């Protein structure tokens, strides 16, 4: 018997909020931008590690038998059948440059305990995505809806069906691998003439939350890691968006496509990636 999703959601919000405060307060005024394109600087790596350790320690105290999968320190198996999937700073490049769109993503998944959590078969039970510079907390629980909490209170999220493709504002993102980027550029050049416009926000978890709130109409990306999308996936799904891979199967590292139920199949066709 797993604990109630509402309790897991509360815990996810609590730890993601603490980590969000840490990374926001701990960002130096000026960060020397790294020499290499793909690797963040030491100071960012240090904050990434500190954030993940804070989350790991708090979760270990609260839920000692659960597993943990984090961007920095990898997978630590638990015995409960639940694993916390954590991105301690999603949007690292924004964080590095001082752009105010980065987040802490904390999700808890039920999965086959024989191995690490697999997005093809896991069940995401609860999640929190905290955007500390906007003071916005996105959260969701399986079957219990999604909400956005900000200075004005807590608002339930409801994604609409989505507009026609020609009126759609579509967010996307790119991994750091140059070969994959060439493929992504080809997809982009096919799509760009067909949509209202594109956005590259730089934070996969917030892209998915933006779909949940109707701030963009859709989001797609290939090559994400589980910690990039686990939390935002649940927020978007619980808000009523359809979130799959490009073939309509479970979302995963090979593809995440989120949109309202009207737009989703149309965008899937336009991307022709399945």
Q: Which residues bind ligand IPD (CB under 6 A)?
A: 71, 87, 90-92, 173-175, 202-204, 221, 224, 228
Strand partners, 105: 87, 129
**Closest Cα to residue 5, out of 112, 140, 117?**
140
Shorter beta-carbon distance to ligand IPD: residue 55 or 110: 55
Q: How far is the CB of 17 from ligand IPD (least distance, A)?
A: 18
Distance CA 199, CA 9 (A): 29
Shorter beta-carbon distance to ligand IPD: residue 39 or 79: 39
Shorter beta-carbon distance to ligand IPD: residue 22 or 110: 22
Q: How far is the CB of 157 from ligand IPD (least distance, A)?
A: 20
Shorter beta-carbon distance to ligand IPD: residue 173 or 255: 173
Q: How far is the CB of 237 from ligand IPD (least distance, A)?
A: 18
Report helix, strand or coil for 260: coil
CA-to-CA separations, 23 to 55, 68, 133, 205, 233, in angstroms, rounded: 12, 20, 10, 16, 23
| Residue nearest ligand IPD (C-beta atom) | 173
Shorter beta-carbon distance to ligand IPD: residue 92 or 139: 92
Distance CA 105, CA 82 (A): 16
Q: Kindly compute the dihedral angle of the four CA atoms of residues 121, 127, 133, 135, in this order, to the nearest 10 degrees.
A: 150
Shorter beta-carbon distance to ligand IPD: residue 96 or 110: 96
Measured in whole angstroms, the distance separating CA 141 from the mean position of its chain's CA atoms is 15
Distance CA 7, CA 140 (A): 11
Give the chain's length: 274
Q: How far is the CB of 7 from ligand IPD (least distance, A)?
A: 27
Q: How far is the CB of 267 from ligand IPD (least distance, A)?
A: 17
Q: How far is the CB of 251 from ligand IPD (least distance, A)?
A: 14
């Amino acid at each position: 018997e797993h604990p109630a999703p509402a309790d897991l959601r509360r815990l996810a919000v609590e730890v993601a909020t603490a980590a969000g405060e840490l990374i926001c307060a701990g960002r130096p005024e000026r960060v020397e931008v790294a020499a290499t394109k793909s690797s963040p600087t030491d100071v960012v790596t240090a904050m990434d590690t500190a954030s993940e350790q804070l989350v790991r320690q708090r979760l270990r105290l609260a839920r000692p038998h659960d597993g943990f999968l984090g961007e920095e320190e990898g997978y630590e198996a638990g015995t409960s059948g639940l694993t916390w999937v954590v991105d301690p700073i999603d949007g690292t490049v924004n964080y590095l440059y001082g752009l105010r769109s980065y987040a802490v993503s904390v999700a808890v998944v039920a999965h086959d305990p024989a191995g690490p959590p697999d997005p093809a078969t896991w069940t995401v039970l609860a999640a929190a995505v905290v955007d500390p510079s906007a003071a916005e907390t996105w959260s969701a629980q399986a079957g219990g809806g999604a909400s956005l909490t900000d200075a004005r209170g807590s608002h339930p999220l409801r994604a609409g069906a989505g507009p026609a493709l020609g009126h759609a504002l579509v967010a996307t993102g790119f991994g750091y691998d140059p070969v994959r980027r060439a493929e992504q550029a080809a997809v982009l050049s096919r799509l760009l003439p067909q949509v209202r416009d594109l956005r590259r926000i730089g934070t996969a978890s917030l892209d998915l939350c933006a779909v949940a709130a109707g701030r963009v109409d859709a989001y797609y990306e290939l090559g994400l890691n589980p910690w990039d999308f686990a939390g935002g996936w649940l927020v978007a799904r619980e808000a009523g968006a359809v979130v799959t891979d490009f073939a309509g199967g479970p979302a995963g590292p090979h593809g995440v496509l989120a949109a309202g139920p009207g737009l989703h199949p149309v965008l899937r066709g336009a991307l022709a990636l399945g």
